Structure 1
Amino acid sequence: MDSLITAAARALANGDPFGALNRVALREDAPALALRGIAMAQLGDLVRAKALLKSAARAFGPKEAVARARCVVAEAEIALVSRDLGWSAKALDAAQAALDAYGDRLNAAHARNLKARRLLLIGHLDQAERTLAEQDPMLLPPALRATYELAVVGISIRRLQTKTAHAALIRARLAAQEADIPALNAEVENASVALNTPAARLIARGEERLLLLDEVEALLSSGALMVDGCRNVVRDGRGVVSLATRPILFALARTLGEAWPGDASRHMLIERAFHGKDADESHRARLRVEMGRLRAVLRELVEVSATKTGFLLKPRRANEIVVLAPPVENQHSVVLALLADGESWSSSALAIALDASPRTVQRALEQLAAEGKVQSFGQGRSHRWIAPSVPGFPTSLLLPAPLPNG
């Protein structure tokens, strides 16, 4: 490798894309194309970066497996940043295997970090954790160590393990400061914001207050019966029942939880569950049917009793009933939660992350756009969506991942 290529690679490792381009901008050989691609990615021109890396991969000969694998890893990073979740995970696995086989430990570690971050985005926390467990962070250089710890922060936040998240964030900040790469320091600060911003509203006994993540974690351990509007589950310290696919039953459970220790009137239950302001006999008959279903699915956690005016919850094991709700509620809050990371997403990537149909996601985006909450740009395969500003809308409890089972 000649001196200009070496100097350009060192500049990129230090977060200096202009320094790298000054050395290789006019060259068309394979190593220069690869370095130019990475430099353009650091400068934010992801389309040009992707094209350069593909050209570099083709230019490397059949005996240059390591160089081609590095190009694949760089393409995978661009796909992650541009939220192209449909990019081939198998290609990244093959590149990682090639780098391991040829002893390129650092780039193999980078590939693992990218794989873990992609798995984190789509809510596959166990797989992400197993991927990170394949390497020792103390053997990594500062930049890779920082990205490793940021992945740990993300996993811990999704699992509401806030002590683990705070410890990993401290390690990530120290590693990022040592690496002295501005973009990496900014990513650490973004993770810090997620840990220190209100993540939910607590509704109990007619009062509301905002909760930080560590307060939500403490609430989960308190033994209270919780009607969780972030995950659409009902839980106590020993069991959890998901109502995520049964929105009417969850609306009834939440209305009853907000009314506790009193009862909720039939009129209120009908209005909240069926959106019927003028209840008639058909609404009341339907309410009786749905309350019977709710009583059946929640029988291990709570008793649902009829009163003169409505219905009442009586927890079987807990001494308290609380409702957990997002800080800001919207019909499509989960879509906003993903977009609130500040990156641009394609509708197909959102569908993959949410495990929803593309058409369902597209309808949600169109409605959010009509409300002025999201914006789009580009056309065809380059069409992307962003949420320019979602004040007071923390995302961690709405992102794809199950809450702990208690």
Structure 2
Amino acid sequence: MASDPLISVAARALAAGDPVAALNRVSLRDDAPALALRGIAMAQLGDLDRARALMRRAARVFGPREAVAQARCVVAEGEIALASRDLAWPVKRLEAARAVLEFHGDRANVAHARSIEIRRLLLLGHLDEAESRLVDLDPGCLPPPSRAACELVVAGIAMRRLRTKTARAALERASHAARQAGIGALTAEVASAWRVLQAPAARLIAKGEERLLALEEVEALLSSDALVVDACRNGVNRASLWISLARRPVLFALARQLAQAWPADVSREMLIAQAFGLKLTDDSHRARLRVEVGRLRVALRPLAEVTATQRGFALVPRKVGEVAVLARPVEEPHAAVLALLADGQSWSSSALALALDTSQRTVQRALDTLAASGKVQSVGRGRACRWLAPPMPGFTTVLLLTALLPGG
């Protein structure tokens, strides 16, 4: 490839983020190196379907006799699949290509393949596995564009773990790598990640007042002595003690109402209406409320008491301190779908179902509801249908995604 001057010039143009200049050199050629470079150029221009088709053709033309070049095409195809949110793309192909590259000592592309695998795991919410694989990844082997992408993954994991110092350090390194790469689109992606870190991430509700919190403030609140009913992850937190109510929605609804009213109490009628969705009450509803409050007492025993009052119930922390509710900045019935779509990429309903670990039919119903209200829009038809949504103005979606994580 290096002996062909047009290929060399096109490759340098792509490395500098100028796909048009690269296409001017190789757009009429159908040899394997030209097909591969055309595929990369089309990916940079945003035509991902055409890019993938070109990379597949290049891999076929290279053939098994040029195993390294063929493996590099597979790695590039894997990155295109990730960019197009095709999360069902066969990862085993990427693993096989990585093994070939490792055998031939191509450390840079081995590391790049690993970074693609890790970024896919991050999209699927598999943070533990993504973090364990990061240990084996040496960013020093990567060229500046791939190194910046790797640091964005580190920052993404840290933000979802609410580790803002780690996220900030990773974004500093990503910014440095993006400046070295000199690619405008990459610089914009890093800048977008900075905005996510700095934007309001949640609402603090305490003593009848509300205010917005940045991600760093959320981290500080959850590590403080305050008793926090966390409506982002559906649980109750105090310092290092976490009680999950994610699988007990009635108990969480009661806990939230009691925390929002603290230090006052909440009437039985209001608790029944919020927890059970009932407007009218009778003795059976009151009996059910007593049962659920009893269960809530048991669940919150390490952190708080739930005491009966003349008109209802009140939350009493076991230690002196504030009580607050941490809520999402925008509370939306289909917030999880919107959180994924808000990354600005187009998603298929099948990819959304994989990322949300739910059925495609459930996702499609949510998309139909959101489309009817103008919050998302579809592009294409049938299997080519993709869904897009504008980002929520002024709000990060990190805490919306955090609620999806196992153990969250």
Which deviates further from its counterpart, 2-11 or 157-166?
2-11
The answer to whether residue 150 in structure 2 is matched with residue 156 in structure 1 is no
| 2:129 match | 127
Tell me by how many angstroms 1:282 deviates: 3.4
What is the CA–CA distance in structure 2 between the aligned matches of 1:128 and 1:39, rounded to whole Å?
29
- The aligned length equals 406
Relative distance call for 1:357 and 1:326 in structure 2 (3 A) is same
Aligned partner of 1:192 among 172, 191, 194:
194
User: What are the ranges of 5 or more consecutive residues in structure 1 without an aligned counterpart?
Assistant: none
Tell me by how many angstroms 1:318 deviates: 5.8
Structure 1 counterpart of 2:57, one-letter code: S
Percent of aligned positions with the same letter in both sequences? 67
| 2:314 match | 312
Structure 1 counterpart of 2:108, one-letter code: L
| 1:387 match | 389
| 1:13 match | 15
Tell me by how many angstroms 1:6 deviates: 2.0
| 1:339 match | 341
Aligned partner of 1:3 among 2, 5, 13:
5
Tell me by how many angstroms 1:279 deviates: 2.8
What is the CA–CA distance in structure 1 between the aligned matches of 2:391 and 2:223, rounded to whole Å?
33
What is the CA–CA distance in structure 2 between the aligned matches of 1:405 and 1:225, rounded to whole Å?
19
Structure 1 counterpart of 2:64, one-letter code: P
1:197-346 paired onto structure 2 within 5 Å: 197-317=199-319, 319-346=321-348
Is contact 2:197–2:396 with CA below 8 Å preserved after alignment?
no
| 2:72 match | 70
Tell me by how many angstroms 1:93 deviates: 1.7
What is the CA–CA distance in structure 1 between the aligned matches of 2:279 and 2:111, rounded to whole Å?
58
Q: CA RMSD in A?
A: 1.9
1:23-34 paired onto structure 2 within 5 Å: 23-34=25-36
Tell me by how many angstroms 1:278 deviates: 2.8
Is contact 2:223–2:240 with CA below 8 Å preserved after alignment?
no
Relative distance call for 1:282 and 1:48 in structure 2 (3 A) is same
Tell me by how many angstroms 1:292 deviates: 2.3
| 2:178 match | 176
Give CA deviations for 1:177-218 in whole Å, capped at 9, x if unaligned: 111101100100110110110000011121111000110111
TM-score w.r.t. structure 2 length? 0.95
Relative distance call for 1:350 and 1:402 in structure 2 (3 A) is closer
| 1:80 match | 82
The answer to whether residue 113 in structure 2 is matched with residue 93 in structure 1 is no
Is contact 2:343–2:391 with CA below 8 Å preserved after alignment?
no
| 1:46 match | 48
SS of residue matched to 1:28 = coil
What is the CA–CA distance in structure 2 between the aligned matches of 1:87 and 1:317, rounded to whole Å?
51
What is the CA–CA distance in structure 2 between the aligned matches of 1:156 and 1:238, rounded to whole Å?
18
What is the CA–CA distance in structure 2 between the aligned matches of 1:212 and 1:405, rounded to whole Å?
23
What is the CA–CA distance in structure 1 between the aligned matches of 2:360 and 2:339, rounded to whole Å?
17
Give CA deviations for 1:109-168 in whole Å, capped at 9, x if unaligned: 211221111111111122222322223323432212211111111111111111111111
User: What are the ranges of 5 or more consecutive residues in structure 2 without an aligned counterpart?
Assistant: none
Relative distance call for 1:95 and 1:219 in structure 2 (3 A) is same
Is contact 1:353–1:400 with CA below 8 Å preserved after alignment?
no
